[in-house]
Amino acid sequence: MKRIVLLFLIVSSFNCTAQLFGKNPIINLENFDKQRVSWGYYLGLNYYDFKFEYEGIGKDILVESTVGFNVGLIGNLRLNNYFDVRFEPGLSFNQRNLTFPDFAVPEEGLREVKSTYIHFPLLVKFSSERTGNIKPFLIGGISTALNLSSNANSKEDNSNNVFRMAKWTNFYEVGLGVDLYLEYFKFTPSLRGVFSFNDELIRDNDPNSPWTGNVGTMKTRGVFLNFTFQ
């Protein structure tokens, strides 16, 4: 039975590859892109980082990034054969660990920054001509995000082990991907970079704080790997 299942999976894989990349592929979802409005959802991974700029000379703050998770919805408005406007509201979860320098006890300089963003991107998608069941594209735009884990309203700060960030952050986004037209749906892997416009750090009450005193700006940057189903 295991051999039969394995054989079925191999044959299905070859059949799918032939449909997408063969010399004369069967054209799937031929009229899909003629829809004025289409909908979908995405799942994916993210990798967030911080970019620091400093007020004066000093040691760098070390950032340990981890891989997080994205999930969201897609609304696509077709403008013509090459351009679409997309709205992709979603949730992203991530954690970044910051190690601040010059602490005698290393644990005092460690902050675990957990972020839960509600993300609102408005994007323009520029696609090439469709070739068989494949259509590459470039995408870019702006977005805003609400950080539910910001601690922005807390009166306590790093002296009480509370790291504070701005509630709202604005980004610009650029990326690329490829639409793959399968038999029953369109599957799209894409890679996108997100870059914050604004400083997200809320300073400690003490202007000479060893955690925030030397920080000029702290901005999020990250990479999204999303898999879209329409």
String of DSSP letters for 114-183: EEEEEEEEEEEEEE---BTTEEEEEEEEEEEEEETT--TT-S--GGGT---B-SEEEEEEEEEEEEEE-S
Rounded (10°) CA dihedral 13, 191, 46, 196: -170
| Contact between 193 and 175 (Cβ < 8 Å) | yes
Is residue 42 pLDDT above 60, yes or no?
A: yes
Full residue range of the structural domain in which residue 85 is found:
30-229
Residue 26, SS3 per DSSP:
coil
Question: Where residue 11 falls among pLDDT bands split at 50, 70, 90?
Answer: very low
- The reply to whether 104 falls in a domain is yes
Average pLDDT over residues 186-202: 95
CB 77 within 8 A of CB 36: yes
* Element housing 199 (H / E): none
Has residue 13 been placed in a domain? no
Residue 22 inside a domain? The answer is no
State the pLDDT at residue 23. 55
What domain count does the chain have?
1
225's tokens: 């790997």
Per-residue pLDDT, 27? 85
Q: CATH number of the domain that 189 lies in?
A: 2.40.160.20
- Residue 81 forms part of a structural domain: yes
pLDDT digits (tens, 9 = 90+) for 157-175: 998 999 999 999 999 999 9
- 12 falls within a domain: no
In this structure, are residues 25 and 45 in contact, taking their beta carbons and an 8 Å threshold? Answer: no
Q: pLDDT tens digits, residue range 78-121?
A: 999 999 999 999 999 999 999 998 888 888 889 999 999 999 99
Within-domain flag for 9: no
Does residue 24 sit within a domain?
A: no
Let me know if residue 176 belongs to a domain. Answer: yes
